[in-house]
Chain A
């Protein structure tokens, strides 16, 4: 009995109603997507407008529907814990997406992505932290905004807040700002991309370097198309690999360089890097490796009945549940916390990354950013 109990987190029951709600919402979203697609293929005019022109696929249905439900309906508080844990279901989906890549993609697109993200992440983080220091912004706010606008939004703020000792009001301003700009970019960038005929692979790279928050980044790329998603996820993996490095840089910039380290409280830098390293990306690379080895028994994502085909079918559901959780978590009240200097920093960083990122992906071109998934 003890063993069975140890398999469950404390108060696991509080997560069940919200998680079931997300499952049901994802089911409805996926089936509406199928319905719109089949009606559009049959030539039904309104369905073509909804599915083709307005791009109302399952991602848009779950995100927009989630926002409307969360902000317009009296959602019971008992659903919130389960909704929160539905968002990280994207993670196993991203690991499974490893079956879409081969090492040639990782080296070509991932290598380019590593250079791109290295430039954008460190460029943003160093410039934001340096200018915050010059403008007299507190170390706490400068540190979390540098990491948040540079690496992966709220996730980076969470990793960096204890290191740079950000106060609750600073964290609230920074999280509100990142959520606000992440959401604005999620709903504007796909339409900007379509209006300038940006290819799917270019859009994937653009969203991976420009969108401040990772949840919104994956959603925007999946919304734009499968090629866009494949490029965005690969570059995003390169992006989050930099998280421990940026935290280490913040530690040096704000604490070690200025001699603010408390006596007797030595910081174990190796432990810090280990704690902040996103271990799940090792799972992603393991699947890339297995796919690259072309093992007959595992098949491929398009070989019906093979293990990789089955995994590929599961990934869509992981994404759908994750997007249901993301949509239902977008609360306008949270974004109203955006303000103060965090808002100014967020505005400048978002605009610069959007414009510069677009210029860079246009220069690189479509082919170099395309994931082929074949050996």
Chain B
């Protein structure tokens, strides 16, 4: 059995990781963590009067790398604490498309995502990725969304600019 757990580094994904670990240990399943680096912010470097474009791109890239590193470290720490050996992957691009691509390559039996408890407006704004994912995956894969807390995420300043080895 293969379980793919999607991580965005925010606190609400810790519930999804715990769920994946428990299932992985119970079913002796292979657990893979996936973090997608969304380059949405990069497109604005070409704003009409933008000054310091290179510095902006370098800053955005460093921050996104730091987020990915933090997500990976949190995932590793939780898996190690439970005695589970898991794989961690990073992809770059639009999150839904990249998760679907990973599902296509990996063919997992189960995909677990974190989810925030959102009202209708919140679901409209966020695009409700878990629901879109559920609609998009084939019949062979099940999608589970685990609700967690709604605390804002913070990046550790020392991780900005750090190197990630994947």
Contact = CB atoms under 8 A, between A and B. Distances in A.
A168 interface: yes
Contacts of B47: 87-88, 153-155, 158, 215
B55 A162 contact: yes
B52 A158 contact: yes
B83 interface: no
Given A90-B48, A336-B125, A158 B154 contact: no
B48 A158 contact: no
A37 interface: no
A42 interface: no
A155 B49 contact: yes
Contacts of A118: none
Given A84-B46, A167-B63, A169-B153, A162 B127 contact: no
Contact of B52 (A152, A240, A275): A275
Interface string B136-162: 000000000000000011110100100
B107 to A, nearest CB: 25
Interface stretch (B16-24, B27-35, B37-45, B72-80): B37-45
Contacts of B51: 155, 158-159, 243-244, 275-278
A371 interface: no
| Interface bracket on B | 20 to 34
A320 interface: no
Given A88-B48, A91-B48, A333 B127 contact: yes
B50 interface: yes
Contacts of B92: none
B52 A175 contact: no
Contacts of A169: 152-153
Dominant secondary structure of chain B at its interface with chain A: helix
B127 A336 contact: yes
Nearest to B46: A84
B48 A161 contact: no
Given A168-B64, A171-B41, A152 B49 contact: yes
Nearest to A333: B127
Nearest to B67: A168
B150 to A, nearest CB: 12
Contacts of A278: 49, 51
A172 interface: yes
Contact of B50 (A155, A162, A168, A172): A155
Contacts of A161: 56, 59-60
Contacts of A199: none
A322 B47 CA distance: 11
A289 interface: no
A118 B150 CA distance: 40
A339 interface: yes
B53 interface: yes
B41 A175 contact: yes
Nearest to A179: B44
B63 to A, nearest CB: 5
Nearest to A176: B125
A88 B45 CA distance: 11
B36 to A, nearest CB: 13
B48 A175 contact: no
B43 A159 contact: no
Interface of B: 40-41, 43-53, 55-56, 58-60, 63-64, 67, 124-127, 152-155, 157, 160
26 contacts: A84-B46, A87-B48, A154-B44, A154-B50, A158-B44, A158-B51, A158-B52, A158-B53, A159-B50, A162-B56, A165-B59, A167-B63, A167-B154, A169-B152, A169-B153, A171-B60, A172-B41, A214-B49, A243-B51, A244-B51, A277-B51, A322-B48, A334-B40, A336-B124, A337-B40, A337-B125
Given A158-B53, A167-B63, A334-B40, 15 more contacts: A84-B43, A85-B46, A91-B49, A152-B49, A154-B50, A155-B50, A158-B51, A158-B52, A162-B55, A167-B154, A167-B155, A214-B48, A244-B51, A275-B55, A333-B127
